[in-house]
C-alpha cells in the first residue's frame, strides 16, 4: 500500500492551490477540476478537507467522472492510463488534471469537454 493512500487530501490540497496560483489559475478553477473528477460539490469538498479525509476514503466516496479514462499522459514519468492500481490511477488522474490546469490548458480541454 502506498503512503499517499493514507495521506489526507487536506495535506496535499494547499500544494495544488499553490501550484495553480503560481501560473495565474484560481482556487475556484482547481475546485471545478476536482468537482469534475470526483462529483463533489463545494460544500462536500470543504467537508472532506476539514475532516482530513484520506485519499483512499476520498476516492471511495467519489463518483469518478465516466470521462476520466480520457485523461492520458505522463505524471512523474508514469503514464496515467497504464497505472494498474485503481486508487493510484485516480490519484494520478487528479495530479494530471492539476498539472494541466497549472500549465494553462483551457478549462474545456482539462475537463475533457
Q: HSE, CB side, 13 Å, CA atoms: give it for residue 42.
A: 5
What pLDDT was estimated at residue 94?
Answer: 97
Residues 6 or more apart whose CB falls under 8 angstroms from that of 50 comprise 10
Query: Per-residue pLDDT tens for 50-101?
Result: 999 999 999 999 999 999 999 999 998 999 999 999 999 999 999 999 999 9
> Would you kindly state where each structural domain of the chain is located, as residue ranges?
3-104
The C-alpha cell of 11 is what?
495535506
- pLDDT digits 0-9 by tens, 10-23: 999 999 999 999 99
Cell 483551457 found at: 106
Q: Is 0.85 topped by the overall pTM?
A: yes
8 Å CB contact between 95 and 20: no
Residue 1's pLDDT band (cuts 50, 70, 90): low
In whole angstroms, what is the distance from residue 102 CA to residue 49 CA?
Answer: 21
> CB count, 10 Å around CB of 61?
13
Nearest-angstrom CA–CA distance, 50 and 52: 5
Tell me the CATH number of domain 3-104, given options 3.40.50.2300, 3.90.920.10, 3.90.550.10, 1.10.8.290.
1.10.8.290
Amino acid at each position: 500500500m502506498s503512503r499517499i493512500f493514507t495521506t489526507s487530501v487536506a495535506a496535499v490540497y494547499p500544494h495544488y492551490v499553490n501550484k495553480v496560483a503560481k501560473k495565474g489559475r484560481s482556487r475556484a478553477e482547481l475546485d471545478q477540476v476536482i468537482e469534475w473528477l470526483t462529483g463533489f460539490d463545494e460544500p462536500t469538498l470543504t467537508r472532506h478537507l476539514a475532516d482530513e479525509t484520506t485519499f483512499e476514503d476520498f476516492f471511495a466516496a467519489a463518483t469518478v467522472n465516466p470521462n476520466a479514462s480520457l485523461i492520458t499522459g505522463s505524471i512523474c514519468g508514469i503514464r496515467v492510463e497504464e497505472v494498474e492500481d485503481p486508487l493510484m490511477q485516480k490519484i494520478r488522474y487528479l495530479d494530471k488534471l492539476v498539472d494541466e490546469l497549472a500549465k494553462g490548458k483551457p478549462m474545456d480541454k482539462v475537463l475533457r469537454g
